[in-house]
Structure 1
Amino acid sequence: MSEQVTSQQINTILWQAADTFRGKIDSSTYKDYILTMLFIKYLSDLYKEHVEEYTKRYDGDKQRIERALARERFVLDELSTFDYLYSKRTDSEIGEIINKALERLENENTGKLRGVFRNIDFNSEATLGKAKERNAMLRALLEDFNKLTLKPSVVGSEDIIGDAYQFMIERFASDAGKKGGEFFTPSMVSELLARLVKPKENDRIYDPTCGSGSLLIKVANQVPSKKVAIYGQERNGQTHSLALMNMYLHGIDDAKIEWGDTLSNPLHLEDGKLMKFQAIVANPPFSLDKWAMGFAGEGNNDEKFKMEASLDQYRRFEWGVPPTSKGDYAFVQHMLYSLAENGRMATILPHGVLFRGSSEEKIRQQIIEMNLLDAVIGLPANLFYGTGIPACVMIFKKNRKRNEVLFIDASSEGNYEKGKNQNNLREIDIRRIVEAYEGYESIEKYSYLATLNEIKDNSYNLNIARYVDSFEEEEEIDMKMVKQNIIDIKRELSNVETELEAILNELGL
């Protein structure tokens, strides 16, 4: 057996491969090429190991070997393997050769890989530059990946590959700043959401803005048997591809991840209606501007277009149409309309959703009067990539039996770890939030259980500071003590000066 390769070794080689692109193209773009190459390398090494196994087992009988390979999870032919691409690394048409190999991979695995690579072009002049520099970059990329061995016998657990993929996505997100937040939710925030929605076996789990799929994977991991059905939708084509690869690398082969705008074109439907889910999680884009553009229709002037509830065939905006420049409640209403009876939903939102007026206030009032809001949790500032604004988690439930809403303020110092560029939630912080939510009661300076009448008296304003008093009073200053301290210090100073004078006299100075 070959020597085991560690996560650390894989991650180091992957990060070196990123150096090929760094400084030439934006990391939010080159991540697509590196993560796709990681996926191809994994499939190729898996295939290579199976070929070796079957050749041994069937004593070189080609027909039996091919029959056995055809039954595998993924089918490859020689022209779509990494080794073939590596052998062509100095070819002047290498970009096109990689594209063709990806196409072959899709065609050989239509049930699983159809459309996975359609948004990733290794021969794109617009993205990768003119032929000479493009070819040099691709050659370097293939050479870097050739140093990597991802055969199952060498890697050991398949989780290591999934973790490497996850590690790279997280590194890219932190590198890409604002754009990073579009495809990745920090892993400890995902972990928090996963524990708050508590998925059960056989649940349908859904993320309407799923990015690279990491949040969905965290939720699925909460169910030990992994017997859950995963659904997601993502608007960005390249990110949609990453989400599909992410699922496969984590051993989730039956996830249904669709590509399209969830608001104007929701793609998870049943009998022409929105599909219903037991657990919904999301980190939608904060206050998305022009969120309703997809409803405008052909020939409509963007500037003059005004969204109306009647334009949505799924009738999601009958409680109110969110403002054009802030799509937060459009996503919330979409999720509430997609929630099954007794379903649970946790979503990350900017604090503005808790108190902004006009149509958002009307929507908030409807949601509270229908008793769908279960908890509001304030998170520390600076947790997310590319934005320092503090966010909150709102938890909603269908068929709630209680008539209160729990407010938790987990934003103050001591509830997170300060980082150089970004703050982090620790395991201890997550546990404290989850325990407070499960306990569902007031805890001094941390949580408050508000009745629906209290919220109504506050004009449906959900600003956490109105409910949780986390203000730490400073100790009263004892002026007598301060005065005595000053007298003592003066006396001490006078003694020191006297001693100093005596020493200087002795020295004749």
Structure 2
Amino acid sequence: MNFTVRDKTKQLVDDLKAICANHGLGNDGNEYKIITEVFLYKFMNDKFFFEVRTLNAKYQSATNLEELLKALPDDEYDLLLLELPASVAQLNREHYISNLFNSQNVPEFAKLFDDTMRSVASLNADIFSVGTSGGEKVRLFSGISQYVVEEAKRDGFCRAIVNKLFHCNFGEIFHEKYDFFATIFEYLIKDYNKDGGGKYAEYYTPHAVARIMSEILVSDEVSNVKCYDPSAGTGSLLMSLAHQIGEDRCTIYSQDISQKSSTLLRMNLILNNLAHSLLNVVQGNTMTEPFHIIKREPKDGFDYIVSNPPFKLDFSDWRDRVDASHQTVQEGETEETKKLNARFFAGVPNIPNKDKDKMAIYLLFIQHIISSLNSKGKAAVVVPTGFLTEGKGRATSIANKIRMRLVDKGWLRAVVSMPSNIFATTGTNVSIIFIDKTNKSGKCVLVDASNLGTKIKDGKNQKMLLSIEEEQRIIDAVNGQAVVDDFSVVKSFADIKEAGYTFNPGAYFDVSIEYVNISAEEFSRRINESKTRLNELFNEGRKLEKDILGGLDGLFYVD
């Protein structure tokens, strides 16, 4: 990785945030919209010129490409736009950042800035918009100056931003790969994902978890596959999975209830050369309005699913609606409706009398994921470690029913118990369950990685950090079906059933007792030594007790 380019890119992010802070928008709820829109506008400008230079030698050798393009006849410019890859934003000549830079003295510059960004969004609406579950389109840019309360300061705000954008060039970064953009994206959004608290997937899933999930799910070369995350958040799991498969060999689908997460996910897709999947990004409630099931897109379900769903969340407002649709089989209902209503085969959690925010919504997500896989599908899901044993032996337990389904169908491939505090934002211990509908081995791998990692300070929180070697150890244990004392074990589904369908790896480790052959004389000698030492300790204890009591008598003596 080119550290100089990376640092320059991070510096631009810092400069943009500083401009926001200087105009009263630091830590403002709208700051992330400004930063993401401006960063993407810059990225798309520079990507446009980078791709134009690859079209022919004349453009590649041009010392002032923008002036050359501005001099082209309109029909030639239109043909040039048609030659660009579909993943590259279409830009008219008035959309260039240089045009804004050279127009800073015009009246109402902030309006010009916003109008330019909105025009770019309109021109590229067919590719770069994301949808809602209701069918509406959320466009790429909406303008930024309105977030500055004082109108008199809006022109200065936009000028400051344009000056930073103009004097920075992303041209060097387009040869970089996934790891570069994963680092940049995490740095870009680090201040905007501190309030996740487990609400859907707003917080950023650690790179180590994403890598472990993707490299276990995809260990062989695949192509033309459909990947899905029903609680996508900012998309870190999907990006890692797409990188493992190959960005040009997969199509991404996602849904998340958070508008902010969907905005950040769109940026992540664009940065990682996955703009072709933007039309499959949906904002909405996956449990009540599962867009991809309702629309049957894709028709047969997904090849790969990754998810870090919310664990606890108050969904009492729509709990009964989901439960009613699950239990009701209406006459003449469509195949889509049947699939929709059949998702929650293990049931829907009840509404507790108190602490509604602790409702186990993750149990709905696991069932939704199982139902969303195609007949050969594979999935990796982050769950609270308590799920591995919750409701063991109870026929009414939703968690137990899910575990039974995975084992009885032979779909469980592996379970990995992760170290505590692998997420800095939550103290909940987590595990990863791997589902594989093609698993014909009759067995699964159980890994206890809870003792791995090094504890570090992450802001005010403690975080457990896995080394590359430790990540690889987990991956190799699952993919190689390794048996390692007190770390990993391979068990048949019959063994899992016999143990009451517990997924806890530790329940299957052998208890080792060390035996040493010694003679009768040696045994007698060791016993006598132990007795002698015990008598000495008892004598010391009695003497100490006597000294203490004597001291207390003196303390309370009254003359």
One of 223, 228, 231 as aligned partner of 1:201: 223
Q: 1:67 to 1:76 in 2, by over 3 A?
A: same
CA shift, 1:411, in A, is: 0.9
State the shift of 1:92 in Å.
Answer: 8.7
Q: How does 1:68-467 map to 2 (within 5 A)?
A: 68-72=80-84, 73-86=88-101, 97-115=112-130, 118=139, 121-123=142-144, 129-131=149-151, 138-150=158-170, 152=171, 154-155=172-173, 157=175, 159=177, 162-163=181-182, 165-169=184-188, 171-172=190-191, 178=197, 182-198=202-218, 200-224=222-246, 226-255=248-277, 256-269=280-293, 271=296, 275-290=300-315, 293=318, 296=321, 308-310=326-328, 314=340, 315-324=342-351, 325-357=359-391, 358-412=397-451, 415-421=452-458, 422-467=463-508
Cα separation, partners in 2 of 1:24 and 1:189, compared to 1, 3 Å: same
> Secondary structure, in 3 states, of the residue corresponding to 2:204?
coil
Secondary structure of 1:419 counterpart: strand
**In structure 1, distance between residues paired with 2:101 and 2:67:** 23
Deviation digits for residues 234-272 of structure 1, max 9, x if unmatched?
A: 221232122222212222232122222222112224658
Cα offsets for 1:290-345 (capped at 9, x unmatched) = 17728749xxxxxxx97854397511012322345111121111111111222211
Task: Give the deviation of 1:444 after TM superposition.
Answer: 0.6
TM-score (norm. length: structure 2): 0.72
Distance in 2 (alpha carbons) for counterparts of 1:215 and 1:226:
17
TM superposition shift of 1:179: 7.5
Deviates more, 1:175-184 or 1:339-348: 175-184
Q: Aligned-pair distance for 1:41?
A: 0.6
Gaps of 5+ in 1: 298-304, 484-509
Q: Alpha-carbon deviation of 1:121? A: 4.9
How far does residue 134 in structure 1 lie from its aligned partner after superposition? 6.3
Secondary structure, counterpart of 2:281 in structure 1: strand
- Does residue 64 (structure 1) correspond to residue 76 (structure 2)? The answer is yes
Per the alignment, residue 17 of structure 1 pairs with: 16
Aligned CA distance change for structure 1 residues 229 and 272 (closer, same or farther; 3 Å): closer
Cα gap change, 1:134 to 1:406, in 2 (>3 Å): farther
Q: Describe the SS at the equivalent of 2:475.
A: helix
The alignment partner of 1:149 has SS state of coil
Equivalent position SS for 2:425: coil
| Structure 2 residue runs without a partner (length 5+) | 53-58, 131-136, 330-336, 352-358, 392-396, 515-526, 534-559
Task: Give distance in 2, aligned partners of 1:424 and 1:462.
Answer: 24
Q: Distance in 2 between matches of 1:318 and 1:20?
A: 52
Q: Deviations over 1:132-182 (max 9, x none)?
A: 5666655544443343212x3x44515488356424345336755747961
Relative distance call for 1:24 and 1:68 in structure 2 (3 A) is: closer
Distance (Å, rounded) in 1 between the aligned partners of 2:195 and 2:157: 20
1:503 corresponds in structure 2 to none
CA distance in 2, matches of 1:268, 1:296: 19
CA distance in 1, matches of 2:513, 2:141: 53
Counterpart residue identity of residue 251, structure 2:
A
Alignment CA distance shift 1:81-1:163 (3 Å): farther
- Are the aligned partners of 2:129 and 2:140 in contact in 1 as well (CA < 8 Å)? no
Which letter maps to 1:172?
D
Count of aligned pairs between the two proteins: 465
Q: Write the distance in 1 (CA, Å) between the matches of 2:262 and 2:513.
A: 45
Quote the RMSD (CA, aligned, Å). Answer: 3.9
Distance 1:187 1:273, change over 3 A: closer
Q: Label 1:131 to 1:88 Cα distance change in 2 as closer, same or farther (>3 A).
A: farther
Tell me how far 1:227 sits from its aligned partner. Answer: 1.3
Does the C-alpha gap of structure 1 residues 17 and 175 become closer, same or farther in structure 2, counting only changes over 3 Å? Answer: farther
TM-score normalised by structure 1 residue count: 0.78
CA distance in 1, matches of 2:325, 2:145: 37
